[in-house]
Amino acid sequence: MEQFLKEYLSVLRLERNLSENTIISYKNDLTSLLNFLGQKNIVDPSQISIDHITNFFKSLNKLDLSSTTSARYFSSIKGFFNYLSINKYIKDNPVERLSAPKLSKNLPVVLTVEEINSIINLPVTNTTLGLRDKALLELLYACGTRVTEIITLKISDLFFNEEIIRVFGKGSKERIVPIGSSAIHWVDEYLLKSRPLLEKKLKSENIVFLNNRGMKLSRMGVWKIINRYTIESGVKREVHPHTFRHSFATHLLEGGADLRAVQEMLGHADISTTQIYTHIDRDYIKQVHKEFHPRG
């Protein structure tokens, strides 16, 4: 079974060009399944039935996973068994008749402009790390990048004369995102005054945002920076790097931006993914109506 898994992950990496983070998620999901089957002494994929897969999902339900995580497990497992079936490693596909779990449509947390500003304005910019944090927060909100995109951003991806940056998103897909004057100013300040003090020639690899060891920031490092300033700002909500992305998209739409333009900036392959922000925008419209209509 492990050999089949190894082969499948190689296909995802080499033929489908999925990101390393996605491949790691698939590997973890499928390893959980193989461990579950191993406890039942099932070592050959031809032995696996729909009941085994159903029982595996029942065991996941006991862990109280989010609907998004459950859907990812389903996608990982379905892709794996489709691969086994196409390559004639199994005769019957045990997931063929299984339905994907329904995703709950919880709206993401979105900060107000005032809350965003209260967080972004906190870093002390006359210190090396404070200036870095200011530039990082400004860029996160200005461009709506994913955390993986911002920690892998390189100096060669900055085109400030054209007021754009180049981002490599999921599956290494390249996109161009506009950047505003405020973010340009603070990133320039950081590159001029702070980054040279953090840079270690052999470790920094042209990465924009560095930690105090001269290496690229980790995902957890960015989360800690945001968490620190959120607490200091007094914002009483749970804020993650992705919260800046949600807020970026929502504030654009509230300001009248075209949905397809926002889709391009976020790097969504399907506009239906972007449309969740129109639901948030409708809530905003209802709020305005309630506040300002004579019979609101």
Q: Domain containing 82: what range?
A: 2-86
In the set 78, 154, 170, 219, the catalytic residue is 170
Q: Which two tokens stand for residue 67?
A: 């609907």
Is position 72 annotated as part of the catalytic site?
A: no
Give the residue among 139, 126, 140, 138 at the shortest CA–CA distance from 194. Answer: 126
Angular region, 127: left φ>0, alpha ψ -120 to 50, beta rest: beta
- Asked if 279 and 187 sit in the same domain, the reply is yes
Distance (Å) of CA 33 to CA 10, 44, 166: 18, 13, 38
For residue 232, being part of any structural domain is answered with yes
Give the residue among 8, 137, 154 at the shortest CA–CA distance from 81. Answer: 8
Distance CA 72, CA 150 (A): 24
- Asked if 124 and 228 sit in the same domain, the reply is yes
For residue 101, being part of any structural domain is answered with no
Over its C-alpha atoms, the chain yields an Rg (Å, rounded) of: 23
Q: Which two tokens stand for residue 282?
A: 């409708």
Q: Please report the pLDDT score of residue 104 as a whole number.
A: 56
> How many CB atoms lie under 10 A from the CB of residue 89?
15
Give residue-wise pLDDT tens across range 66-103.
Answer: 677 888 888 889 999 999 999 888 888 888 888 776 65
For residue 285, being part of any structural domain is answered with yes
- Asked if 121 and 59 sit in the same domain, the reply is no
- Asked if 263 and 144 sit in the same domain, the reply is yes
For residue 81, being part of any structural domain is answered with yes
Is position 251 annotated as part of the catalytic site?
A: no
- Asked if 286 and 220 sit in the same domain, the reply is yes
Distance CA 220, CA 56 (A): 30
Question: Does residue 210 contact residue 216 with C-beta atoms inside 8 Å?
Answer: yes
For residue 166, being part of any structural domain is answered with yes
- Asked if 139 and 271 sit in the same domain, the reply is yes
For residue 100, being part of any structural domain is answered with no
Is position 268 annotated as part of the catalytic site?
A: yes
Distance CA 176, CA 111 (A): 25
Give residue-wise pLDDT tens across range 1-27.
Answer: 788 889 989 888 887 777 788 889 889
Give the residue among 224, 142, 134 at the shortest CA–CA distance from 177. Answer: 142
- Asked if 151 and 258 sit in the same domain, the reply is yes
**CATH number of the domain to which 265 belongs:** 1.10.443.10
In the set 146, 195, 216, 251, the catalytic residue is 146
Q: Can you list the pairs that 11-16 forms with residues at least 24 positions away whose Cβ atoms lie under 8 Å?
A: 11/83, 12/79, 16/171
- Asked if 74 and 117 sit in the same domain, the reply is no
Strands ordered across the beta sheet of 158-159: 158-159, 164-168, 174-178
Q: Please report the pLDDT score of residue 13 as a whole number.
A: 84
For residue 107, being part of any structural domain is answered with no
- Asked if 146 and 258 sit in the same domain, the reply is yes
**In this structure, which amino acid lies at residue 53?**
I
- Asked if 46 and 171 sit in the same domain, the reply is no
- Asked if 59 and 171 sit in the same domain, the reply is no
- Asked if 17 and 130 sit in the same domain, the reply is no
Q: Is 154 helix (H, G, I), strand (E, B) or coil?
A: strand
In the set 134, 245, 246, 251, the catalytic residue is 245
For residue 97, being part of any structural domain is answered with no
* pLDDT beneath 70, residues of the chain: 64, 66, 101-107, 293, 296
Question: Does residue 210 contact residue 151 with C-beta atoms inside 8 Å?
Answer: no
In the set 52, 154, 203, 242, the catalytic residue is 242
**CATH number of the domain to which 82 belongs:** 1.10.150.130
Q: Please report the pLDDT score of residue 68 as a whole number.
A: 73
